[in-house]
């Protein structure tokens, strides 16, 4: 398009705009801008209300249909099954372990990636990060099956060294390892901007005053990276807590998380009410934890528009 043609097209567009959205509507323009996103998210909100409704209708075991009248039967049923507490405990433990592991592994990565003087090295680190980030969970879990299986790389290597084979696959540690690997790129990406924001001169000053690097790290870098650490921690924690694929694929059936219990209630026990009740509880648990963490640590890290910091 030549320049005048482009301007003509713009003018034509402007004319249509004036017709459809006259200047008098100006004050409502932000609403117009927000509407699509609000409607899209509304799909989720309406669905959640339906899940809440379904959670209040117990299953009639004679007909495999949900009751017409509301009651708390599904929640009572959940309370009566200690296994759900075990599953919840396991999910929480895994979330804590994975979060700790990811933060410990991510901070040096983010730090080196930001601070390295070599652009080539920085690019290598970025690619090393994005490659797994862009490969989905199922494919990566499949990779772990090849690493950890009875005849996988790990055991072949051990056998090659004359050592005994180990059964890691289908255990809790395998699930934690798979999840840590899955979450690590998220953690680094969320941490990196916080590391960028740390003024190198402050570190230099600390070193200049005779502080060892470990002291500088502990008293300057980590506190200043705190918003990033908390943001990354929240994301890693909540996604891990509610993950389905890793425990399903690497857990061998005995390492279920809450998400697996929800899926099972819907699709193995054909009990949508109990599954919905579990989902509702999981939403409450997740939101409460996020709200608590944000209240303690400040909302800045999770905000959608950084503009509000101003």
Least Cβ distance, residue 158 to other proteins (angstroms): 12
**Of residues 241-300, which lie at the interface with other proteins (CB under 8 A)?**
241-242, 244-245, 249, 252-254, 256, 258-259, 261-264, 266-272, 275-276, 279-280, 282-283, 286-287, 290
Q: Which of 193, 211, 224, 226 binds other proteins (CB under 8 A)?
A: 193
Least Cβ distance, residue 97 to other proteins (angstroms): 15
Least Cβ distance, residue 160 to other proteins (angstroms): 10
**Of residues 97-136, which lie at the interface with other proteins (CB under 8 A)?**
104-106, 108-109, 111-114, 116-117, 122-123, 125-136
Q: How many residues bind other proteins (CB under 8 A)?
A: 141
205/270 with CB nearer other proteins: 270
**Of residues 60-89, which lie at the interface with other proteins (CB under 8 A)?**
60-65, 67-69, 81-83, 86-87
* Torsion angle in degrees (nearest 10) through CA of 157, 162, 167, 173: -60
Least Cβ distance, residue 280 to other proteins (angstroms): 8
Least Cβ distance, residue 76 to other proteins (angstroms): 14
Mark 20-39 with x for binding to other proteins (rule: CB under 8 A) and - for no binding.
---x-----xx-xxx-xxxx
Tokens of 44: 């989720």
Question: 65 — phi, psi (to 5°)?
Answer: -125, 155
Mind spelling out the 3-state secondary structure of the chain?
CCHHHHHHHHHHHHHHHHHHCCHHHHHHHHHHHHHHHHHHHHHHHHHHHHHHHHHCCCEECCCCEECCCCCCHHHHHHHCCHHHHHHHHHHHHHHHHHHHHHHHHHHHHHHHHHHCCCHHHHHHHHHHHHHHHCCCHHHHHHHHHHHHCCCCHHHHHHHHCCCCCCCCCCCHHHHHHHHHHHHHHHHHHHHHHHHHCCCHHHHHHHHHCCCCHHHHHHHHHHHHCHHHHHHHHHHHHHHHHCCCHHHHHHCCCCCCCHHHHHHHHHHCCCCHHHHHHHHHHHHHHHHHHHHHHHHHHCCHHHCCCHHHHC
Does 211 engage in binding with other proteins (CB under 8 A)? no
Least Cβ distance, residue 187 to other proteins (angstroms): 10
Mark 144-183 with x for binding to other proteins (rule: CB under 8 A) and - for no binding.
xxxx-xxxxx--x----------x-xx---------xx--
- What's the chain's Rg over C-alpha atoms? 25
Least Cβ distance, residue 265 to other proteins (angstroms): 9
67/100 with CB nearer other proteins: 67
220/261 with CB nearer other proteins: 261
Say how far apart CA 296 and CA 178 lie, in whole Å. Answer: 29
Least Cβ distance, residue 277 to other proteins (angstroms): 11
**Of residues 215-244, which lie at the interface with other proteins (CB under 8 A)?**
217, 235, 238-239, 241-242, 244
């Amino acid at each position: 398009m030549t320049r005048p043609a482009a301007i003509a097209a713009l003018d034509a567009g402007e004319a249509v705009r004036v017709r459809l959205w006259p200047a008098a509507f100006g004050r409502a323009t932000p609403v117009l801008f927000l509407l699509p996103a609000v409607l899209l998210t509304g799909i989720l909100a309406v669905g959640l209300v339906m899940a809440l409704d379904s959670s209040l209708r117990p299953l009639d075991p004679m007909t495999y249909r949900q009751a017409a009248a509301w009651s708390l039967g599904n929640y009572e049923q959940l309370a009566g099954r200690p296994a759900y507490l075990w599953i919840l405990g396991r999910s929480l433990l895994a979330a804590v372990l994975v979060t700790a592991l990811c933060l410990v592994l991510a901070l040096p990565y983010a730090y080196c990636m930001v601070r390295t003087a070599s652009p080539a090295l920085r690019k290598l680190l970025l690619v090393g990060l994005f490659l797994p980030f862009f490969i989905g969970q199922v494919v990566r879990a499949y990779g772990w099956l090849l690493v950890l299986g009875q005849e996988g790389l790990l055991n072949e290597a051990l056998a090659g060294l004359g050592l005994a084979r180990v059964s890691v696959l289908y255990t809790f540690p395998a699930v934690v390892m798979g999840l840590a690997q899955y979450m690590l790129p998220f953690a680094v990406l969320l941490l990196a901007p916080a590391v960028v924001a740390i003024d190198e001169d402050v570190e230099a000053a600390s070193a200049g005053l005779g502080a060892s690097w470990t002291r500088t790290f502990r008293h300057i870098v980590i506190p200043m990276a705190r918003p990033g650490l908390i943001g990354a921690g929240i994301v890693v924690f909540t996604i891990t807590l509610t993950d389905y694929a890793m425990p399903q694929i690497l857990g061998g059936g005995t390492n279920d998380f809450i998400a697996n219990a929800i899926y099972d209630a819907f699709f193995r026990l054909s009990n949508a009410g109990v599954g919905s009740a579990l989902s509702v509880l999981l939403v409450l648990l997740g939101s409460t934890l996020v709200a608590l963490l944000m209240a303690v640590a400040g909302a800045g890290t999770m905000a959608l528009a950084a503009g509000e910091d101003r």
